[in-house]
Amino acid sequence: MSLSQLAKSIAESPTLSLNEQARLLREKGEDVIHLGAGEPKNKAPINAILTSAARLNTGDVKYTPTDGIPSLKKAIIRYTEENYDRVIAPENVLVSAGAKQVLFNLLYTLVNPQDEVIVLAPYWVSYPEMIRMVYGVPVIVTPEDGGFHPRMQDIEKSVSSYTKAIIVNSPNNPSGVMYSEKFIGEIVAFCERKGIYLIMDDIYHKLLFDGKTPISAYRFTTKDIESTKVISINGISKLYGMTGFRIGWIVAPKQIIDVMINVQGQTVSCTSVVLQAAAEGALTGLQSAVDALRLMLENNRNVMMQELNGFQGVKVTKPDGTFYCLPDFRAYNKDSVDLCKFLLKKALVVTVPGKEFGMEGHLRLSYATTVKDIKKGVERIKWALDPSSPNEIYIGERKMVRDWL
């Protein structure tokens, strides 16, 4: 069939495809443990439900302004003032269907064919594919010290005259690592000096542990919102565990937003007014929902660390935030795709291969699940891989015997 070469070359989202595989296995009655999830199990905050239900009840569900309803934009402006210490105008904000669509729209708006965008490994799976979708070139920068924290010297070496932007995601999906204040300060100064856009994907910025607090990149620039190279992306998916509501937003100079509005106007028009009302409800309601989610995730992180630390040969960096960690399984298998398939088949545990995040030999494990599933999941992985663990295990009603070690 004759299809676009570019479209055909875009990889399937591995996380969404694994969700589907897990769903199908569960439908067949298999006792699958999902350590691949990119969403917490909490319910949406009550105020979000009430505001969206009220909107739906009016029956008045029509197009909204392309950039979002004014009352939601007002809530985003307040959020930006409170969390980023920046006073911005409605012209600096655009609301879209999730941070994912915001980012795609932004890349479409910034990138000319052959422009390069720097992506810091380990990275979120969608960055390189989205950059390629707008005919840009993803330039992956991997810390040469083998760690998960980016280093300025590696980034500086990768910058060329084609570099248009750098994407920073801290705390980071998939490692959970939060980048240091020193690094954020240096990269802001570097981008402002070089005229490179700094795209801050702040989608997890409040899901931090051990008393850590978000770092606003705006703190490190003296430029005003219209002339800074700092662009921030955020949303309700992770902050409130409202992934299915599909609302995200961007804060950027007006000149960028103006073009993004045209792009959005010619593609999706706007996002649903019902879901925008939900986002407004979440942002203006009691923020205790965020604290409750953060505390639950911190506890889950502790359980996951405890379980993995007792796993011979597995090395793990303790996450500072998010709901992921990226343990190193190279002692068992250097091929993470192979390992992920093996664990799903033999132990019925969903993991995500590190290869997809630019870190081969690792697996991304999510602790946005129950404590019981974290414990059971790691126990099963141990059973499948570690000869020193018991030879038999029960999966559901079935007694499984390890006969491959």
> In this complex, which beta carbon is closest to ligand PMP, that of residue 169 or of residue 300?
169
Residue 395 interacting with ligand PMP (CB under 6 A): no
Residue 209 interacting with ligand PMP (CB under 6 A): no
> In this complex, which beta carbon is closest to ligand PMP, that of residue 203 or of residue 344?
203
Indicate which single residue of 36, 176, 248, 321 sits in contact with ligand PMP (rule: CB under 6 A): 248
How far is the C-alpha of 402 from the C-alpha of 345, rounded, in Å? Answer: 13
Residue 173 interacting with ligand PMP (CB under 6 A): yes
**Of the listed pieces 93-101, 107-115, 210-218, 392-400, which binds ligand PMP according to CB under 6 A?**
93-101
> In this complex, which beta carbon is closest to ligand PMP, that of residue 94 or of residue 99?
99
> In this complex, which beta carbon is closest to ligand PMP, that of residue 128 or of residue 248?
248
Residue 235 interacting with ligand PMP (CB under 6 A): yes
> In this complex, which beta carbon is closest to ligand PMP, that of residue 15 or of residue 389?
15
**Residue 190 CB, nearest approach to ligand PMP (Å):** 21
How far is the C-alpha of 198 from the C-alpha of 193, rounded, in Å? Answer: 11
Residue 237 interacting with ligand PMP (CB under 6 A): yes
**Which residues in 344-383 contact ligand PMP (CB under 6 A)?**
none
Indicate which single residue of 104, 108, 124, 179 sits in contact with ligand PMP (rule: CB under 6 A): 124
**Of the listed pieces 1-9, 92-100, 207-215, 288-296, which binds ligand PMP according to CB under 6 A?**
92-100
Indicate which single residue of 51, 64, 92, 169 sits in contact with ligand PMP (rule: CB under 6 A): 169
Half-sphere exposure of 158 (CA within 13 A, CB side): 23
Total residues in contact with ligand PMP, by rule CB under 6 A? 13
**Residue 355 CB, nearest approach to ligand PMP (Å):** 17
Residue 98 interacting with ligand PMP (CB under 6 A): yes
The position carrying tokens 């979440």 is 282
Residue 271 interacting with ligand PMP (CB under 6 A): no
**Of the listed pieces 26-34, 96-104, 178-186, 365-373, which binds ligand PMP according to CB under 6 A?**
96-104
Q: CB of 195 within 8 A of CB of 70?
A: no
**Residue 16 CB, nearest approach to ligand PMP (Å):** 10
Roughly what angle, to the nearest 10 degrees, separates helices 336-347 and 14-27?
10
**Residue 25 CB, nearest approach to ligand PMP (Å):** 22
Nearest residue to the partner ligand PMP, using Cβ? 98
Strand partners, 199: 167, 231
> In this complex, which beta carbon is closest to ligand PMP, that of residue 19 or of residue 333?
19
Residue 38 interacting with ligand PMP (CB under 6 A): yes
For the chain, the three-class secondary structure string (H helix, E strand, C coil) is CCCCHHHHHCCCCHHHHHHHHHHHHHHCCCCCEECCCCCCCCCCCHHHHHHHHHHHHHCCCCCCCCCCCHHHHHHHHHHHHHHHCCCCCHHHEEEECHHHHHHHHHHHHHCCCCCEEEEECCCCCHHHHHHHHCCCEEEEECCCCCCCCCCHHHHHHHCCCCEEEEEECCCCCCCCCCCCHHHHHHHHHHHHHHCCEEEEECCCCCCECCCCCCCCHHHHCCCCCCCCCEEEEEEHHHHCCCHHHCCEEEECCHHHHHHHHHHHHHHCCCCCHHHHHHHHHHHHCCCHHHHHHHHHHHHHHHHHHHHHHCCCCCECCCCCECCEECCECCCCCCCHHHHHHHHHHHHCEECEEHHHHCCCCEEEEECCCCHHHHHHHHHHHHHHHCCCCCCEEEECCEEEECCCC
**Residue 243 CB, nearest approach to ligand PMP (Å):** 5
**Residue 122 CB, nearest approach to ligand PMP (Å):** 11
**Of the listed pieces 52-60, 98-106, 188-196, 337-345, which binds ligand PMP according to CB under 6 A?**
98-106
Q: What residue ranges bind ligand PMP (CB under 6 A)?
A: 38, 98-100, 124, 169, 173, 201, 203, 235, 237, 243, 248
